[in-house]
Amino acid sequence: MRINKEGYKIIGISGLLCLLIWVFFYHLLVNHAAQTLLWVGTAFILLFWFFIVGFFREPRRVRIHDADLVFAPCDGRVVVTEVVEETEYLHREMLQISIFMSITNVHMNWVSVGGKVEYFKYHPGRFLVAWHPKSSTENERTTTVVRMNDGRQVLFRQIAGLIARRIVSYMKIGESVEQNSVCGFIKFGSRVDVLIPKDSELLVEIGDATVGSQTPIARLSKK
């Protein structure tokens, strides 16, 4: 299993803390013949650390290219499919598809469409639960707009949640990005919004599970 580079520091620090906690409990319990409690504590500490390691896992996935399809930007479950008025950059009605990631999901993010990064902005903000309707506009987030080769624009928004306090984006204005290439990472529970032309064909429903870079979530209409 590969580990995403965003996890190296956290894995190292958490591993050191787990080791110090284990040493403390070892010296506390070993002289009191509490061997069973020591083994239980050791198992719990190891499971906790392996969970941290697993959170930053980086799966190997086939990169799919289809300019007519919009792919899921992350693993998770669809929580919103609705037409909204986009007011930050595009200033028009767009079809919004939102995917919530639980702490057990892979938290890498992929670019839903290929093209050139036209707009990028980081927004500091609140940490409402990621499925809250206001999280898209009030939480800490990044907004990216990719202009496809045919001129169509797709907006991609990474949103921090109640637990997530660190959004990582690799997107830079003016750079060309390939469809389903890795574009960022959100640590510990979060949400991703994709806003596409409102006349697109929706391919998912609320409650559907998605696999990042593999699940088609919409089909763009022909220009």
Catalytic residues: 190
Tokens (6 digits) for 202: 């929706």
CA–CA dist 141, 127 (Å, integer): 10
Tokens (6 digits) for 83: 């037409």
Q: What is the dihedral of CA 213, 215, 221, 223, to 10 degrees?
A: 20
Element (H, E) at 109: strand 108-110
Element (H, E) at 153: strand 153-160
Between 35-55 and 8-29, two packed helices, what is the crossing angle to 10 degrees? 180
**Letter for the amino acid at 47?**
L
Residue with tokens 């198992």: 43
CA–CA dist 67, 114 (Å, integer): 7
Asked whether 109 and 199 are in contact (CB, 8 A), the reply is no
